[in-house]
């Protein structure tokens, strides 16, 4: 495993833990898009079905189980435990406009036309756009809590580091996955505006706001 893959995984884990701690400590999920979290839960569920069919390594299995468990824990906290604090009035992104086209694309463009491979491809495509409901929610409310922006930063950093991981693997292992790379580029581009605002505002102690 190369350093980009490891730091990418740790950044991803940091993002998930930051979000869970934010919700648990404040006893509130205000400012968090439940729809984005449902999409991420769907991403991990469809991507890691290979847990039932193969074993790669203890690290690989542990991380997959943690991602799935934390994803569903977050959904539970938002829609059950702290449902009263959930801002559904601003979490209005039409996720069917993401899930349906992504599902169709996964059927049409994949490495192998088999159930597990199509679901894995679906998860890759869906992850690239799963953050859109959260960004849309921030644009509607006009601002985001600092802790929420830290969560988004580490989530975006994880995907950016994975792009370097793909480059590393291509040069040193001869491995090239066009589907994962294109989806990763799309996802990173979606974060570009946020990254700029994070560096110019949040790191200087100001509140982050996205243009409505």
- For residue 83, the tally of other CB atoms under 10 A from its CB is 13
- 203 versus 90: which is more confidently predicted? 90
Give the DSSP H or E segment for 179. Answer: helix 178-200
pLDDT of residue 212: 53
pTM above 0.75, yes or no: yes
Tokens 């922006």 found at: 149
The three-state secondary structure class of 144 is strand
Please provide residue 208's backbone torsions phi and psi, each rounded to the nearest 5 degrees: -90, 135
| Rounded Cα–Cα distance for residues 170 and 117 (Å) | 21
Where does the pLDDT of residue 210 fall: very low under 50, low under 70, confident under 90, or very high at 90 and above?
A: low
């Amino acid at each position: 495993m190369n350093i980009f893959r490891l730091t990418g995984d740790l950044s991803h884990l940091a993002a998930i833990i930051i979000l869970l701690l934010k919700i648990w400590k404040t006893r509130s999920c205000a400012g968090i898009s439940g729809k984005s979290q449902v999409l991420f839960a769907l991403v991990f569920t469809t991507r890691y079905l290979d847990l039932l069919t193969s074993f790669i390594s203890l690290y690989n299995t542990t991380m997959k189980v943690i991602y799935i468990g934390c994803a569903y824990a977050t959904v539970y906290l938002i829609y059950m435990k702290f449902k009263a604090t959930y801002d559904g009035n601003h979490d209005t992104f039409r996720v069917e406009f993401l899930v349906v086209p992504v599902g169709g694309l996964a059927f049409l463009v994949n490495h192998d036309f088999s159930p597990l491979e199509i679901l894995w491809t679906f998860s890759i495509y869906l992850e690239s756009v799963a953050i859109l409901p959260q960004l849309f929610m921030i644009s509607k409310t006009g601002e985001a809590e600092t802790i929420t922006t830290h969560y988004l930063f580490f989530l975006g950093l994880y995907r950016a580091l994975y792009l370097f991981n793909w480059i590393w693997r291509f040069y040193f292992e001869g491995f090239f996955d066009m589907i994962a790379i294109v989806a990763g580029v799309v996802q990173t581009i979606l974060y570009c505006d946020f990254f700029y605002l994070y560096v110019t505002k949040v790191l200087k102690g100001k509140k982050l706001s996205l243009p409505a």
